[in-house]
Amino acid sequence: MVGRTTALSPAAQDELTRLFRKPRGEHPWPPRIPAGRFGQLGAGPVEYKQVEPSVVVEVATDVAFEYGRWRHPARFIRVRRDLAADDLT
């Protein structure tokens, strides 16, 4: 986990919802992530739905990477159907 994204468009939400699957085993991330992990001090924990890490997407980021995370939100570009999660290192 190295960052967060901007809000997804309704079309992107629909596409990803169709592709995501529940995890088949124990998930490596906690059910809630401290907001401070994303530089949002004083905010409550970030809740999210855990999914099987099998969908590859392309995102756009700036160059500000600090404290092991992107300083600004990444922007979702597209699903990369030509790549499998195992193709990435």
Domain range list for the chain: 10-87
Mean pLDDT by 10 residues, the chain (89 residues): 86 96 85 72 76 92 86 92 91
pLDDT at 42: 67
pLDDT at residue number 21:
93
48-67 residues labelled b (16+ CB within 10 A) or e (exposed): eeeeeeebebeeeeeeeeee
pTM: 0.76
Residue 67: the pLDDT is 81
pLDDT of residue 56: 95
